[in-house]
Structure 1
Amino acid sequence: MATVTTTFSMWSNQYINGQWRKGDSQNDYRNQNPFDLSELVKIKLASIEDVGVAYQSAAKAQKAWQKVSPGERSAVLKKAAEVLEKGRDEIVQILVAETGSSFAKANAEVDFSIADMNQFAQLPFKMEASVVSSVIPGKENRVYRLPVGVVGVISPFNFPLYLSIRAIAPALAVGNGVVVKPDLQTFISGGLFIAKVFEEAGLPKGLLNAVVADINEIGDAFIEHPLPKVISFTGSTAVGKRVGEVCGRNLKRAALELGGNNVMIVLEDADIEQAASAAVFGKFLHQGQICMALNRIIVHQNIYDKFVKAFKEKTQLVKVGNPFDPSVFVGPLINKKQIYKVQGWIDDSIREGAVCIKRGNVAGNLMEPVILTNVTNDMAIAKNEQFAPVAAILPVESEEEAIQIANESDYGLSGSIFTRDVEHGVEVALQIETGMIHVNDQSVNTESNIPFGGEKSSGLGRYGGDWSLEEFTTTRWVSVQKEKRPFPF
C-alpha cells in the first residue's frame, strides 16, 4: 500500500487576490476520502462577497497581464507544467485520496494536464492581427484577436485536475484573468492545488483565484457576476442547461462540456477479443465516472454471445478495492447517492427484461462491476448516463439498427466503432451524431491538439488546441481610413 505524503491540513484556505486566507462564509465543508469516509481537511467556505473579490482581483490583474509579451506568458505556462511534473507524486496521492482514482487514472490525469499546459503555451503567439480588404477606397480593415477579460471556470469531481486545467491554462495563455470554482468534493485537486502550481510558476498575484463555495449558499452569483465574460462549465447536462440559461440571460458566452451516453458499436466483422478488452477499459476506468465512458455497448447479434463471454471473462480480471493499492482498477464512487441512483436503474432494467449475468457486492462507496445483457435502448440503464461500473450490452440485428440506436440518445459526446474494415468504420462513425468517435478504440480519449466537445445535449463549444483560442478570446474590427473619404455634407 502507498502512503499519503501530502499534508491535507495545508489545504484549508481559499486562494483569493494572491493570498491564502479563510473564506468569509459562516459554513464549513469537510472533505472526505470516498473509500473510507475519513476526513481529509475542513475548509471555511467562500461567501458571495469572496466571489466578488476574486473576480475583481482577476479583472485588475488582467489589465497588466494582457500587455505581457507572448514569450513571458508562454514561459509561465511551461514553468507551470514543470512545477506540476515535480509535484506529480503529491497530486497523484491527492487524486487517489480525494477522488477515489486508481494510480493509473491519476497519473494519466497528470499527463493530460501537463500536455495541455505545454500545448496552450503556444497560444500567446497566435494572438496576431490580420488585415482584410475593404470595399471603401483608402481604407484598411484590421481584425485583432483579444482576451475576453475574465473567465469563470466551474469544474467537476471526476477528472478535477485535468478538467480545470483544460480551461484555466488556455484562458491564462491568451491574456485573461481566471476564477475557478471546483466541485466541493474535490476542491483540492480541482482548484487549490492548481492555484499553488501557478503561484510557484510565477503567475502574477491576483490573476488566478480559486474559490471553494457551496452552490446552495452562493446560488447563481458565480455566473451572474458582471465581470466574467465567459463561463466554462464541465458537468451534468441538467446543470449545464441551467448555466447556459443564466449566461444567456446575462449575455455571457458559455463553453459547456456536458454528459454523455456513449456507444461502442461492435460490427459483425470485429475482432471480438480486442473489442472486449477495449470495452472493459472504456467502461470501468475510474468506476465509469467519466463523461466519455461507455454507457451502451451495441453488438451485432451474430457475434453477441461470443462478445458477452469474452467481456465477462475480462471483467473478472478487474480488481476492485482501496485505490491506494496500485493493482486496483475500480475504486469507490464519489458518494453514496450515486450508488443508490444507479442501483435503482439496474433494478428497473431487470424488471424491464434485462438479464444480469454479473452483479457484485456493494460495500460503502465500493461497487463491483455489473453486466446487463439483452438491454434495449428504452431501459433505464441505457437511457440515463451512469457514472458507475455498470455495463449495458445491447444486441442488434444489423449495422443500420446499431446506428439508429446510437443516435436515439439526446447525448452526443464520444463513441467507438469496432470493425476489421477501417474505412468502413469511418463511414459508420460519420453517421453517429457525436462530437468525437474512435475506430477500433474505446471512447475515453483526449489529446491536447484535438477539438474536444459534444453535440446535442452533450454541450457547446470545443476545448483543445486552437479551438480553445476561439473559446477564450474575442475579435475586434479596427478600420483605418488612410485617404480622405468623401461625405455628402
Structure 2
Amino acid sequence: MRNYTFSDLIQQAIAGSWRDGNGKHRMKNSNPYSNQPLGDVQSASADDLDQAYESASRAQKEWININPYQRRDMLLKTAQILEKREDEITDLIIDELGGTRLKAAFEIGLVKDMIKEASTYPLRMDGQILPSPVDGKENRVYRMPVGVVGVISPFNFPFYLSMKSVVTAIGAGNGVVIKPHEDTPVTGGTMIVNLFEESGIPSGLVNTVITQISEIGDLFVSHPLNKVVSFTGSTTVGQKIGELAGKYLKKASLELGGNSALIVLEDADIDYAVSAAVFSRFTHQGQICMSANRIIIHESIKDAFLTKYKEVVSSLTVGNPRDDETIIGPLINKKQVDTLMEIVNKGIEEGATPYLKGSVNGNVVSPTILTDVKPDMTVANQELFGPVVSVLTFKTDEEAVKIANASDYGLSGAIHTEDVERGAELAKRMETGMIHINDGTINDEPLVAFGGEKMSGVGRLNGSNSLDAFTTQKWISVQHSKRAFPYS
C-alpha cells in the first residue's frame, strides 16, 4: 500500500477515470500556512458533471445487487484501509487545510466511527407488512435507495463532512457525486474516492468533480439523476441550494452556519467550564460550525472566569500546524482572515473591549477575546469563523436564555451548572438543534441526530436519520383474493 501525494490525487475522479476536467479554469491548490502550491487541476465542465452523475447511476445498479453482507464487508474494509493510511491522511489534512495534528486525529476518528455506522446500513434496509381495511390485501412497504446523491462539502472538516454523507449514502445503496470546496479538493473529495477504490467498491460508484459554479451553474442540484442533495456550508449558499431543491422537487439536507452559545451559570465548576469554553472556541482555529461564538457568563463569576480563561487562551501555541504543540494554525485563506478582522474591528467600534487582542501573520490569527459585548452588536450576531470569541453577561436564567436565543442561528450550545436538571430545563428553552450540559459545544456522534434550527439548517443526519435521508419508501400491495369493485 503506497502513500499518495497531491499530484496523485488532485485530479477529477469521474466514472472510474482519473483525469483533468474539460472546464475553462485551472484550479490551484495551496498550503494555507506556507502558501506553497500543492498542485492544480483543470476544472470540471457541465459535461464532466453529467458523466459523473451517469456513472454514479450505472454503478448504483451494480452496487445494489451485491449481497448486503458483502457490501457491509467492503465498507468495513474501507475503515481498515483508513487506519493503515492514517499517517498519510494526517499529512494531507495538515497541508491542504492547515489542520493541526490534534485536529487531524479528531477528524479521522470521526470518519472511522461514521464508516463503521454506515457499514450496518446494508443490513438495515428493512420493510414492513401492514394490514389493510380491504379484504385479502397485503401491504408491503419497502425501504429503497433514492438512486444518486449529490454531496457538497466545506473546507473546515472536509474529510469528515464529505464522508458523513457519502458513506451513509452508499451504505443505503446509492451512488454519489461529490463537489468538494475549491480549497480542499483532495481531503474533501478525491482522497475519499481513492479509499473506496482500494476497498473494492464498484468503479464509478463515487465520483468527485472539482469545479466552480461559473462552470456548471445550477446543474449540480438540478441534474435529473440527483435525487437528494446534501450540503454543508454557509447559510447564504444553503438558502440558494434549498431554493433550487424546492424548484426541482429534490430532497435537501442542509447543515449550515452557527452562532453557538456556551452559558456558564453561577454554580458552575469554573475551571472545568473554562476548559470546555477554550475547546469549544479554538479547536481548528474556530473554523467549526458548532464552535462557541458567544460565552455567556453569570455576572457574579465574570471576573474569576475571564481571568482563568485569558490565562489558558494566552498559553495556546499558535503557528505551524506541523508542530506537535500547535493548537491554532492558519485560517483557510486570506479572504477568511480579512472577513474575520472586519467583524472584530466593527465590534470594537461598537463598544466591545479587546480583553485579549490577537495579531495577524499571514493566514495565522492569534486569539482575540472581546468583552462588554451586547446582544445587538455585530460580533454577537455573525458567525465568527476564526479564533475570536464574544463574552456577554447575564443576571438571571431567563436573561441567559433570551441572550442565547437572540440569534438567527440555532445549531449547538452548552450549559455549565452544578444542577444538571436545572441545565436540562434551560436547554429545553434554547432554540437550537443540539445542546450539551457540562460539555463543549462541539459534539458529533454517529448514532445521534445532528442538525440545526432556524438559519442553521434543515434536516437531521446520523444513525437512522441518515438512513431516512438517503432512502425512500415504496408501497407494494398484493391483492390475494378478488376484490369487489363498485362498478364494472
Letter of the 2:319 partner, please give it.
G
Letter of the 1:451 partner, please give it.
A
Q: 1:117 offset after TM fit, Å?
A: 0.3
Q: 1:343 offset after TM fit, Å?
A: 1.1
Matches within 5 A, 1:453-472: 453-472=451-470
Q: Which moved more, 1:348-357 or 1:282-291?
A: 348-357
For 1:418-466, what per-residue CA distance to the aligned partner results, in whole angstroms no more than 9, with x for missing partners?
A: 0011111111111111111110011001111111111111111111111
Q: 1:26 offset after TM fit, Å?
A: 2.6
- Structure 1 residue ranges, 4+ long, deviating more than 6 angstroms after superposition: none
> How many Å separate the matches in 1 of 2:358 and 2:469?
43
> How many Å separate the matches in 2 of 1:345 and 1:397?
27
> How many Å separate the matches in 2 of 1:419 and 1:64?
53
> How many Å separate the matches in 1 of 2:263 and 2:286?
18
> How many Å separate the matches in 1 of 2:189 and 2:31?
17
Letter of the 2:391 partner, please give it.
I
> How many Å separate the matches in 1 of 2:242 and 2:24?
29
Out of 423, 426, 431, which is 2:424 matched to?
426
Kindly indicate whether the alpha-carbon contact (under 8 Å) linking 2:44 and 2:215 is maintained by their aligned counterparts in 1.
Answer: no
2:216 paired residue number? 218
Asked if 1:80 corresponds to 2:78, the answer is: yes
1:194 paired residue number? 192
Asked if 1:295 corresponds to 2:293, the answer is: yes
Q: 1:207 offset after TM fit, Å?
A: 0.8
Q: 1:197 offset after TM fit, Å?
A: 0.1
Kindly indicate whether the alpha-carbon contact (under 8 Å) linking 1:260 and 1:413 is maintained by their aligned counterparts in 2.
Answer: yes
Q: 1:326 offset after TM fit, Å?
A: 0.9
Kindly indicate whether the alpha-carbon contact (under 8 Å) linking 1:348 and 1:380 is maintained by their aligned counterparts in 2.
Answer: yes
Kindly indicate whether the alpha-carbon contact (under 8 Å) linking 1:12 and 1:44 is maintained by their aligned counterparts in 2.
Answer: no
Q: Which moved more, 1:414-423 or 1:336-345?
A: 336-345
1:22 paired residue number? 20
2:181 paired residue number? 183
Asked if 1:174 corresponds to 2:166, the answer is: no
Q: 1:399 offset after TM fit, Å?
A: 1.0
Kindly indicate whether the alpha-carbon contact (under 8 Å) linking 1:11 and 1:41 is maintained by their aligned counterparts in 2.
Answer: no
Kindly indicate whether the alpha-carbon contact (under 8 Å) linking 1:449 and 1:466 is maintained by their aligned counterparts in 2.
Answer: yes
Taking only the aligned residue pairs, the percentage that are identical comes to 49
2:270 paired residue number? 272
Q: 1:349 offset after TM fit, Å?
A: 1.2
Asked if 1:145 corresponds to 2:166, the answer is: no
> How many Å separate the matches in 2 of 1:384 and 1:450?
27
For 1:97-123, what per-residue CA distance to the aligned partner results, in whole angstroms no more than 9, with x for missing partners?
A: 100101001111001001100011111
Kindly indicate whether the alpha-carbon contact (under 8 Å) linking 1:297 and 1:391 is maintained by their aligned counterparts in 2.
Answer: yes
Structure 2 length-normalised TM: 0.98
Kindly indicate whether the alpha-carbon contact (under 8 Å) linking 1:80 and 1:197 is maintained by their aligned counterparts in 2.
Answer: yes
> How many Å separate the matches in 1 of 2:309 and 2:10?
44
Letter of the 2:392 partner, please give it.
L
Asked if 1:135 corresponds to 2:133, the answer is: yes
**Residue-pair matches, total:** 485
> How many Å separate the matches in 2 of 1:129 and 1:269?
49
1:101 paired residue number? 99
**3-state SS of 1:186 partner:** coil
Letter of the 2:160 partner, please give it.
Y
Asked if 1:387 corresponds to 2:372, the answer is: no
Letter of the 1:345 partner, please give it.
I
**3-state SS of 1:323 partner:** coil
> How many Å separate the matches in 2 of 1:216 and 1:292?
30
> How many Å separate the matches in 1 of 2:119 and 2:45?
33
> How many Å separate the matches in 1 of 2:328 and 2:264?
24
**3-state SS of 1:334 partner:** coil
Q: Which moved more, 1:345-354 or 1:329-338?
A: 345-354
**3-state SS of 2:159 partner:** helix
> How many Å separate the matches in 2 of 1:65 and 1:156?
27
**3-state SS of 1:184 partner:** coil
**3-state SS of 1:306 partner:** helix
Letter of the 1:223 partner, please give it.
V
Asked if 1:446 corresponds to 2:444, the answer is: yes
Q: 1:220 offset after TM fit, Å?
A: 1.2
For 1:403-430, what per-residue CA distance to the aligned partner results, in whole angstroms no more than 9, with x for missing partners?
A: 0111121111110000011111111111
> How many Å separate the matches in 1 of 2:126 and 2:283?
41
Unmatched 5+ stretches in structure 2 = none
Kindly indicate whether the alpha-carbon contact (under 8 Å) linking 2:10 and 2:185 is maintained by their aligned counterparts in 1.
Answer: no
Unmatched 5+ stretches in structure 1 = none
Across the aligned residues of Structure 1 and Structure 2, the Cα RMSD in angstroms comes to 0.9
For 1:312-358, what per-residue CA distance to the aligned partner results, in whole angstroms no more than 9, with x for missing partners?
A: 01101111001000100000001111111121111111121111111
Q: 1:11 offset after TM fit, Å?
A: 2.1
**3-state SS of 1:142 partner:** strand
Structure 1 length-normalised TM: 0.98
2:409 paired residue number? 411
> How many Å separate the matches in 2 of 1:6 and 1:268?
52
Q: 1:6 offset after TM fit, Å?
A: 5.0
> How many Å separate the matches in 2 of 1:26 and 1:408?
44
2:258 paired residue number? 260
